[in-house]
């Protein structure tokens, strides 16, 4: 059955990477209905609304959404894509493709995945004046024995880990690692927390991890604190298989890890688990290079590849992956972030030629 895909360019470089990726998908003649409704800054300028009702309706009724990037509209669009659609699983692969830029002497063989919880933790920012806590939690004492009033004027941020939210995400993390093991990878799942400091919230996260992994005797659970993990990503990237962590740690570690394998220009993500899955590059709107036709569309193309996989189109996903890999291996058509001077559209042409 034909799958309905909505491509939302969004802001900054978003529409540029979206347009060429839509072209590649169309050229592949897949059983896809591709829609590109207006949204983001353009919709705001023309219709006075970042996310028109008709665009939202198309998204709600689609099988998958491919999203470029959000700039000034980020809060609003991400609120819909992540919380509105309940996409609590964020999958961020870190894989080296020979020919891409890397600071390592030998990056061959780096191939791991960061699973980032998508809707809890420090997101969406819940902040306020300390006085609010002083008023509502007068009895509260921290481990230093201090009340909120003792801290004087300032701001707070709240980090939330729920039983059900952590459990469904960590259960998925186990299933994901098992599937990967069946595909020939190792069976180690590395949980990343800061439970030595965040004893209650990350303590809960890790306790649930230990419970869930019991149902998967084929898997091996590892646990590192996030500061140690940040170091290990640089020191032992080839030993990593699947990392699972809370929202903001996943956000930070995925940017760090991306730098080993080409940077944000190549880093894709899938946000799934909710009513409609969506796929997006890890990079943002990059306003400094927007409109120049030089942005690297690889991250968006890899996001499209993850979308095809999710839609059950594994052969097409592989063909797209192979096409992109071939362009990097050849090294003739590289965008400026990879040390070349190829434009966004020329890069897409090169990928299309490889796909045939
Ligand atoms: C990401 C981005 C977003 C995040 C921003 C734009 C809110 O950095 O997708 O990684 O922090 O989740
Ligand atoms: Mn980020």
Q: How far is the CA of 247 from the centre of ligand 1 (A)?
A: 10
Answer CATH for 1-91+268-356 from 3.40.718.10, 3.40.50.10490, 3.10.20.880, 3.40.50.720: 3.40.718.10
- Which helix (H) or strand (E) segment holds residue 176: the answer is helix 163-182
pLDDT of residue 42: 87
Q: How far is the CA of 217 from the centre of ligand 1 (A)?
A: 34
Q: Whose CA is nearest to atom 4 of ligand 1?
A: 251
pLDDT of residue 74: 63
The answer, as to whether pTM is greater than 0.95, is: yes
Residue segments in the chain with a per-residue pLDDT below the cut of 50: none
Cβ contacts of 313-319, under 8 Å, gap ≥ 24: 313/3, 313/30, 313/31, 316/28, 316/30, 319/28, 319/355
Determine the length of the chain.
356
**DSSP 8-state assignment for residue 82:** I
Q: How far is the CA of 279 from the centre of ligand 1 (A)?
A: 13
Q: Whose CA is nearest to atom 11 of ligand 1?
A: 251
Residue ranges of the chain assigned to CATH 3.40.1010: 102-121+171-261
* Residue matched to tokens 């940077």: 263
Cα 67 off chain centre by:
11
pLDDT of residue 356: 85
Residue ranges of the chain assigned to CATH 3.40.718.10: 1-91+268-356
Which atom of ligand 1 is closest in space to residue 78's alpha carbon? Answer: 7
pLDDT of residue 317: 98
Contact residues of ligand 1, CB 6 A cut-off: 74, 78, 251, 282, 284
CATH code of the region 102-121+171-261: 3.40.1010
Going by C-alpha positions, the residue among 328, 348, 337 that lies closest to residue 286 is: 337
Both tokens assigned to 101? 């830029």
Q: How far is the CA of 251 from the centre of ligand 2 (A)?
A: 5
Name residues with Cβ closer than 5 Å to ligand 2, which is an ion: 251
């Amino acid at each position: 059955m034909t799958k309905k895909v909505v491509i939302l360019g969004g802001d900054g470089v978003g529409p540029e990477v979206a347009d060429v990726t839509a072209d590649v998908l169309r050229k592949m003649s897949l059983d896809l209905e591709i829609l590109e409704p207006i949204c983001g800054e353009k919709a705001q300028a023309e219709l006075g609304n970042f996310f028109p009702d008709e665009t939202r309706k198309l998204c709600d009724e689609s099988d998958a959404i491919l999203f470029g990037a959000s700039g000034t509209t980020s809060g609003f669009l991400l609120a819909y894509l992540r919380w509105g659609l309940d996409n609590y699983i964020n999958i961020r692969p870190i894989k080296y493709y020979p020919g891409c830029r890397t600071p390592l002497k030998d990056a061959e063989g780096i191939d791991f995945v960061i699973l980032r919880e998508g809707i809890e933790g420090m997101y969406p920012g819940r902040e306020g004046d300390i006085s609010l806590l002083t008023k509502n939690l007068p009895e509260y004492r921290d481990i230093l024995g201090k009340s909120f009033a003792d801290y004087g004027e300032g701001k707070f941020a709240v980090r939330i880990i729920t039983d059900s939210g952590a459990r469904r995400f960590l259960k998925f993390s186990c299933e994901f690692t098992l599937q990967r093991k069946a595909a020939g990878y190792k069976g180690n799942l590395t949980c990343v927390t800061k439970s030595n400091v965040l004893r209650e919230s990350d303590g809960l996260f890790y306790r649930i991890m230990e419970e869930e992994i019991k149902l998967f005797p084929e898997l091996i659970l590892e646990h590192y604190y996030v500061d140690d993990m940040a170091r290990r990503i640089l020191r032992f990237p080839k030993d990593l298989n699947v990392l699972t962590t809370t929202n903001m740690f996943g956000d930070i570690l995925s940017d760090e890890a991306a730098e080993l394998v080409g940077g944000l220009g190549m880093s894709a993500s899938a946000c799934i688990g909710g009513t409609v899955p969506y796929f997006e590059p890890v990079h943002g709107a990059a306003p400094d290079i927007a409109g120049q036709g030089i942005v690297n569309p690889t991250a968006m193309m890899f996001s499209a590849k993850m979308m095809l996989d999710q839609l059950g189109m594994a052969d097409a996903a592989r063909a797209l992956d192979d096409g992109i890999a071939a362009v990097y291996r050849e090294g003739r058509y590289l965008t400026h972030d990879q040390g070349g001077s190829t434009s966004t559209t020329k890069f897409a042409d090169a990928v299309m030629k490889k796909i045939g």
